[in-house]
């Protein structure tokens, strides 16, 4: 993030405000530009968490503070001891990195050599200064979160954070004890406060490490899945290509082609192109499934729309298949992105239609299960064999001769992104129930 055209204090102020409220910061910046033209660069990529997530994380920090028994006095004591320890900071920092340099596994991730180490020393200096400033605000917490994220990025084992912080803790405590001239009880209290803040720091770094690690793992799993899916798609797309190729061969090479035959082959090529397009669409839906853009939506409306979109009026099976939608909730609203949920429920509804062979009964129930809002789609169709139940959510698994096996995988990916839970209950010959449990709103 770069802020040009402002005085230094103003820049600092804006930088601070930007962290919590970018909109307000922009207004502030424009108001104080004094005729100069400010340039504001919002580097969204470096925002590891959304503002909302950061706010909720700050709440969590409050909980962690309460857990270790943190009080405002701790902050006061830590701030008071700063002038005693700060002259020793350079020494502590040198020791910190000298130890790292002696540790093969730790030094392995520092690929930038001494330049990187000098930069890291600066970061550590600002980190340790901040520690003793006594302002344990959102910015403070955000800085600690960044440390954890960074460690995942560079691939540093979390164990080194623990031992390095332990070493730093010893240095700090020894310095305080050595230089302390006051009351011994107060010394003990100060040491406790310092230990508390260091433990909190460690907890935040650990948290951030976990979050970033899980995120990275998910991404890797996703890439692996996409790789697997693309392989399957390659196979699947060869079928329509085969049709196109043979039809074109016939049109080019056959001796006497009747008009009827020509038309037939041309429409066959068109159909094969449409089929390929469907496959490609399914793949791109799967590969580029974005984070859902959550808005408040009505579950009943969503289901009605899904049915309208997927079970077209006038289709021959319409009269033989019975749909019922029942809602037992007074408030059927959830947070979700309807475009994505339409795809997901569309797949479930279409599967149900196949399962009943377009002539059975499909009941959609909107209600509550385990205290969560739920949409359940129940059919009295052929059911799923027990061995297959576990596999139906896997990409490329299909029991339909013409299926690609992406439908339910996409569906699951969408529900995962909504933090909704998909459960499957099925008995061969009796039917299946797919239930989607949405998270309680506060958890979203």
Partner 1 sequence: MMQLRILIVDDELAICENLSDILEDFGHDVHWEVDPESALSTIERENECVFDVAILDFKMPKMNGADLLCKIREKCPDIVAILASAFCDDLKVKDSLKNGFNQIMEKPLDVSNLLKLLEGLTPLVLCVDDDQEFCDSLFEIFQSKGIKASFSNDIENAKQIIQSSSFDVVLVDLKLPDGNGSDTIREINCQRPDIKTILITGYPDQLEQNSADIPELQPDAVFLKPIDPAHLMNVIFRLSNQST
Q: Which is nearer to partner 1, 9 or 401 (CB)?
A: 401
> In this complex, which beta carbon is closest to partner 1, that of residue 196 or of residue 265?
265
To which H or E segment does residue 437 belong? strand 431-437
Place of tokens 């130890």: 99
The CB-of-354 to partner 1 minimum distance in angstroms stands at 14
Shortest separation between residue 262's beta carbon and partner 1, angstroms: 11
Least gap, CB of 256 to partner 1 (angstroms): 8
Q: In angstroms, give the least distance from the CB of 424 to partner 1.
A: 23
Q: How far apart are CA 438 and CA 296, in angstroms?
A: 13
Q: CB-wise, 271 or 335, nearer to partner 1? A: 271
Q: Which two tokens stand for residue 355?
A: 């399962």
CB of 268 to partner 1, least distance (A): 5
Question: What's the closest the beta carbon of residue 284 comes to partner 1, in angstroms?
Answer: 20
User: Of 246 and 298, which has the nearer Cβ to partner 1?
Assistant: 246
> CA torsion, points 129, 134, 139, 144, in degrees to nearest 10?
60
- Give the residue with the Cβ less far from partner 1, 247 or 306: 247
Binding site for partner 1 (CB under 8 A): 235-236, 238-239, 241-247, 249-250, 253-255, 261, 265, 268, 271-272, 401
Q: Which is nearer to partner 1, 254 or 326 (CB)?
A: 254
Asked if 426 contacts 432 with a C-beta cutoff of 8 angstroms, the reply is yes
Q: Which long-range contacts (CB under 8 A, 24 or more apart) does 89-94 make?
A: 89/125, 89/128, 89/129, 90/125, 91/171, 92/128, 92/168, 92/171, 92/172, 92/175, 93/121, 93/124, 93/125, 93/128, 94/121
Give how far Cα 100 sits from Cα of 105, 163, 171, 341, 407, Å. 9, 10, 15, 49, 50
Q: Closer CB to partner 1, residue 243 or residue 352?
A: 243
Give the phi and the psi of residue 315 in degrees, each rounded to 5.
Answer: -70, 150
Q: How far is the CB of 3 from partner 1 (least distance, A)?
A: 55
CA distance 23 to 21: 6
């Amino acid at each position: 993030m770069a802020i040009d055209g402002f005085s230094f204090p103003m820049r600092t102020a804006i930088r601070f405000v930007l962290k919590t409220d970018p909109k307000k910061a922009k207004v502030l910046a424009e108001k104080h530009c004094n005729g100069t033209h400010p340039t504001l660069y919002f580097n969204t990529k470096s925002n590891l968490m959304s503002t909302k997530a950061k706010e909720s994380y700050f709440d969590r920090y409050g909980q962690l503070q309460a857990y270790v028994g943190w009080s405002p006095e701790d902050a006061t004591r830590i701030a008071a001891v700063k002038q005693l320890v700060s002259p020793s900071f350079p020494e502590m920092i040198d020791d910190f990195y000298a130890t790292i340099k002696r540790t093969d596994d730790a030094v392995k991730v520092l690929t930038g050599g001494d330049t990187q180490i000098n930069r890291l020393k600066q970061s550590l200096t600002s980190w340790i200064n901040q520690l003793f400033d006594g302002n344990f605000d959102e910015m403070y917490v955000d800085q600690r979160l960044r440390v954890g994220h960074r460690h995942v990025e560079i691939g540093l084992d979390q164990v080194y954070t623990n031992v390095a912080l332990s070493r730093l803790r010893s240095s700090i405590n020894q310095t305080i004890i050595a230089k302390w001239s006051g009351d011994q009880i107060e010394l003990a209290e100060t040491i406790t406060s310092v230990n508390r803040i260091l433990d909190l720091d460690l907890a935040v770094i650990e948290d951030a490490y976990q979050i970033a690690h899980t995120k990275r793992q998910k991404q890797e799993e996703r890439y692996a899945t996409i790789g697997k899916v693309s392989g399957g798609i390659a196979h699947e797309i060869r079928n329509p290509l085969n049709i196109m190729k043979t039809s074109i061969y016939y049109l080019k090479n056959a001796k006497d082609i009747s008009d009827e035959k020509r038309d037939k082959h041309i429409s066959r090529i068109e159909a094969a192109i449409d089929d390929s397009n469907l496959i490609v669409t399914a793949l791109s839906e799967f590969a580029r499934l974005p984070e859902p853009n959550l808005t408040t939506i009505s579950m009943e409306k969503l289901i009605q729309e899904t049915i309208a979109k997927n079970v077209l009026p006038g289709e021959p099976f319409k009269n033989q298949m019975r749909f019922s939608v029942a809602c037992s909730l007074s408030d059927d609203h959830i947070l979700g992105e309807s475009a994505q949920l339409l795809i997901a429920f569309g797949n479930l509804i279409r599967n149900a239609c196949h399962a009943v062979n377009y002539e059975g009964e499909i009941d959609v129930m909107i209600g509550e299960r385990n205290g969560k809002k739920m949409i359940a789609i129940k059919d009295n169709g052929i059911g799923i064999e027990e061995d297959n139940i576990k596999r139906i959510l896997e990409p490329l698994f299909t029991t339909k001769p013409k299926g690609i096996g992406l439908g339910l995988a996409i569906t699951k990916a969408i529900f995962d992104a909504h933090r909704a839970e998909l459960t499957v209950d099925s008995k061969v010959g009796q039917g299946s129930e797919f239930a989607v449990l949405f998270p309680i709103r506060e958890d979203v």
